[in-house]
Structure 1
């Protein structure tokens, strides 16, 4: 029975979650709950285990207002969200086999020198031959962003399961946001890009309609 209850609770959380356009500014997420949400990002999987993302939690009101000026898709969320997170994704240079971050992550993973050499070779083949992105800076940055979206999804799903609302945001001038963060010494554009942002808090209003999605039959094909 516990197994079925867990499944039902998870589905209820997914039904609960919606793209919250405006939050109740009087309700704040506790530090314990937000740390829990952040921990699910930290524990999220990534290709080769290289975690090509960092997070900025923007709580400063003045900075939020500056970001709002170049973020058409966050007009309601930035002034009202309890917590506002900007995802940073590593650039292609950082994610090359000999890049600083990749070398650091192999140390984090506790690899021996022999294991590092084998992984470096395999990773290089993956970039150059399997995905053919190793020489394309934009493609490499986009690949890093794809990894960040895994953590983003886990954070939003986790939040929904404890009754916290969220909204992922791509509606912003990417170059302007990156320049703004760099001006505030929060971003080195040779190291990071900004692929997505996300707001967390408690909804001010209920959704106007139920969740609408395609059926499983339309999106899933079983190959027996």
Structure 2
């Protein structure tokens, strides 16, 4: 595939993608297609490669119904979306520079030699303490993790659009109430994880309105 064709395919996918308001409940995403979307999420970049996210896929209708009253942005999606994801972000106990989780990622996942691990831990500690001042509060650390989950979310929505699958990112929910529901269901350890955002995937019930965006010149400033 030549470069111009690739560029056209990418733009076509972005023009296809929209925040789907209502899904066709009769259409389901195949396991193969959804695993492809999840694989793209897994491969998405994260700060230091420490992967702060977890994808909680809610296919249980009873749990969806419990979430609905406290998730105004998801009400129209929860009944009919083929797949519904609650994206979690890790919190301070896992993301702090000297946590067991960070050591696990470097030792067991990245398989780095010990001298490199020691160097990276020092750099990560300095980054958290001085560069981004993430240790000033647990909320600062959580928000930093949440920002990274949006990279995975965006990539998954784009990957879905490439194969004709619709999606909708969702922030319209009461975080505290959703977390309590998930905790009660045994799906969330609130000491280590919090809810970052949600996303619904499936197939559109009707065609959306044309996209509206400002001109590129209004969004870009070149510094030469």
Pick the TM interval, shorter chain. over 0.9
Q: Give the whole-Å Cα distance in 2 for the aligned partners of 1:197 and 1:79.
A: 14
* 1:98 has 2:98 as partner: yes
| SS of residue in 2 equivalent to 1:193 | strand
Count of aligned pairs: 223
Q: Deviations over 1:23-66 (max 9, x none)?
A: 00000000000000000001001000000011111100111100
Aligned to 1:123: 124
Which residue is equivalent to 1:132?
Answer: 133
Mapping of 1:32-71 within 5 angstroms? 32-71=32-71
1:191 aligns with 2:192: yes
TM-score, normalization: structure 2? Answer: 0.97
1:215 aligns with 2:223: no
For 1:76, the equivalent position in structure 2 comes to: 76
Q: Secondary structure of the equivalent of 2:78?
A: helix
Q: Counterpart of 2:8?
A: 8
Alignment partner of 1:159 is 2:160: yes
Asked if structure 2 preserves the Cα contact closer than 8 Å seen for 1:93 and 1:137, the reply is no
Instruction: Please state how far the C-alpha of 1:222 moved relative to its aligned partner.
Output: 1.1
Alignment of 1:140-179 (within 5 A): 140-179=141-180
What is the rounded CA distance, in whole Å, between the counterparts of 1:110 and 1:135 in structure 2? Answer: 30
Partner of 2:89: 89
Structure 1 residue ranges (4+ consecutive) displaced by more than 4 angstroms after TM superposition: none
Shift in Å, 1:114: 1.1
Which runs of no fewer than 5 residues in structure 2 stay unpaired? none
